[in-house]
Amino acid sequence: MLGLGLVSAIGLAQTNLPVTTASNQVVIAVVCGKEITSKDAAKLNGLIVGTLLEKFAKENNIAPTEAELDDFTSKAEEQPKQQLLEMEQAREMLRKKLESTVLNEQERKQLETCLQSTGDALKSFWEIQERNKEMKEHLRPMLRRIAEPFVSRWKINQALYRKYGGRVIFQQAGMEPLDAYRDLLKEQEKAGAFQILDKQYEVPFWRNFTTDSMHSFLSSEEGAKAMTTPWWLMEKKPEPSVAKPSNQSIPSPN
């Protein structure tokens, strides 16, 4: 079996073509020695990029510390308090507006309706928080498990940005150093860490890293800030620049 596997691997490297596994699944790519078959074609980008980010983290000893996980968990626990404060401020603002003597009847009714809705929402929020107090100790281990992948990915992104630089894009789950991802992938492909065997998947794979119109870019200043301070520790999350993304030339992945 070892001999057959070796011959198969050599043949794969020489032909650079899709092959069929024993289960009749077509191998469309290989990453770090792991085969990706046609049944996982929709997950191709995630499987390749995820595996290579794990490889980069392992090679560079990147892992969340206990203090970093504590920071993330603490911020997650503080979020309801911040929401409560904002709701109370909104209620107070509505009360002050209602003190105005220049409001017409329609405006006053609209403000009174908003004030009533805000008060009801605050009451419900308080009730939920009171119930959650009893569950807090049980929720903390779950929050810590949630924290680990978020903190790990941010630390990997920071390390990639420090190594390769480039532009940063806006993502709901955190900012991402797009150009650094592309440069890492090109470097790893050249080193033989991954190979897309079925060429119909090659252009779609690279499109995410070479097509500016697919992304919202941060300004250079905001991008650098996002790669310096974790997003969960920021007072205000960075926002994409209003200006159009740079038209800088993007090297071909080939």
DSSP 109-154: HHHHHHHHHHHHHHHHHHHHHHHHHTTHHHHHHHHHHHHHHHHHHH
pTM: 0.68
CA 167, CA 244: separation in Å to the nearest integer?
13
pLDDT band, residue 140 (cuts 50/70/90): confident
| Closest to 253 in 3D by CA, of 200, 194, 182, 192 | 182
Q: What is the pLDDT of residue 81?
A: 63
Please report, for the chain, the start and end positions of each structural domain, with discontinuous segments joined by +. Answer: 2-61+147-233, 66-134
Which of these ranges, 29-33, 55-59, 73-77, 128-132, has the smallest mean pLDDT?
128-132
Residue with tokens 């090659």: 202
- The average pLDDT across 74-99 equals 72
Rg (CA), the chain: 25
pLDDT (average), residues 170-192: 92
Model pLDDT, residue 194: 97
Least confident piece of the model among 37-51, 68-82, 119-133, 159-173: 119-133
CB-based contact 45:56 (threshold 8 Å) = no
**Of residues 94, 77, 93, 88, the one with CA closest to residue 121:** 88
Cα gap 82→234, rounded to integer Å: 14
Residue bearing the bigger pLDDT, 14 or 158: 158
Do the beta carbons of residue 28 and residue 197 sit within 8 Å?
yes
Instruction: Tell me how far apart the 2 most distant CA atoms of the chain are, in Å.
Output: 91
Under 8 Å between Cβ of 205 and 41 = no
Residue 254 predicted with pLDDT over 60: no
Q: What percent of the chain has pLDDT over 90?
A: 44
pLDDT the model gives residue 164? 97
Where does the chain show beta strands of DSSP type E? 19-20, 26-31, 34-37, 194-196
What confidence score (pLDDT) does residue 6 get?
A: 33
pLDDT band at residue 54 using 50, 70 and 90 as cut-offs? very high
Mean pLDDT (the chain) is 79
Pair type for strands 19-20 and 194-196 = unpaired
DSSP state of 231: G
Cα–Cα distance measured from residue 249 to residue 245, given in angstroms and rounded to the nearest whole number: 12
pLDDT of 233 higher than 90: no
Which amino acid is it at 88?
E
| DSSP conformation letters of 32-100 | TTEEEEGGGGGGHHHHHHHHHHHHHHHHTT----HHHHHHHHHHHHHHHHHHHHHHHHHHHHHHHHHT-
